[in-house]
Amino acid sequence: MPESVDPEGFVSYLKRVTKLEIIKLPDRKLRLTSDSVERVDDDLRKFMDSMLEAMYDAPGIGLAAIQVGVPRRIVTIDVAQREDEEAKPNPLFLINPQILWRSDDFAIAEEGCLSIPEYFAEVERPASVRVAYLDRDGKPQEIEADGVLAVCLQHEIDHLDGKLFIDHLSKLKRDMVIKKFTKQARGGAKPAAL
Ligand SMILES: [Zn+2]
């Protein structure tokens, strides 16, 4: 696509600039605590749609707003195709999600993160959770989940508090991952003119 001309005009330009980019380790923004959303309006819904698009594009099953650099308590999730490839998309939009209850039993699952590409590790978390949140229309909702959805909810809500899944691993493993990604980032940031 030519960079200097924009034959489709302003609309396609807008579309292009609103495409969200997922930030990666060691970006320090990932450690921020996100603020609550105060108003659910069309701008927010538009933003959540862009989040969902970025998530599907990646592809991923969950995304927190901070992963596109926005420190607000917003999460998109769709685990439908994780369980059945033929399943229709079934997106969940969670605004200000809050874990109300965690089960006493734990489950171990392999996790990955769009902000820590191509790294996977087993994490132990409560097997089931109940979460309160505001939906796309700003209506209060509650969801109880186990399996992949429970893992995903806990993983994404962690993001809102600046926490990553590698924080659940041993310090040795975590330090190794952080070192690897810091080295990679440094390698890619060399000035082109040199
Ligand atoms: Zn993640």
Q: Quote the tokens at residue 109.
A: 């699952």
* pLDDT digit string, tens, across residues 131-153: 999 999 999 999 999 999 999 99
Could you tell me which of 88, 55, 42, 46 has the C-alpha nearest to residue 156? Answer: 55
CA of 173 from ligand 1 middle (Å) equals 17
Active site residues: 156
Give Cα separations from 84 to 55, 80, 93, 131, 147 (angstroms): 18, 6, 20, 24, 14
Rounded percentage of the chain residues whose pLDDT exceeds 70: 87
What's CA 169's distance to the chain center, in Å? 19
Average pLDDT, the chain: 90
Q: Quote the tokens at residue 6.
A: 């924009």
Question: Across residues 109-130, what is the average pLDDT?
Answer: 97
Q: What's the pTM value of the predicted model, to 2 decimals? A: 0.87
CA of 95 from ligand 1 middle (Å) equals 17
CA of 71 from ligand 1 middle (Å) equals 14
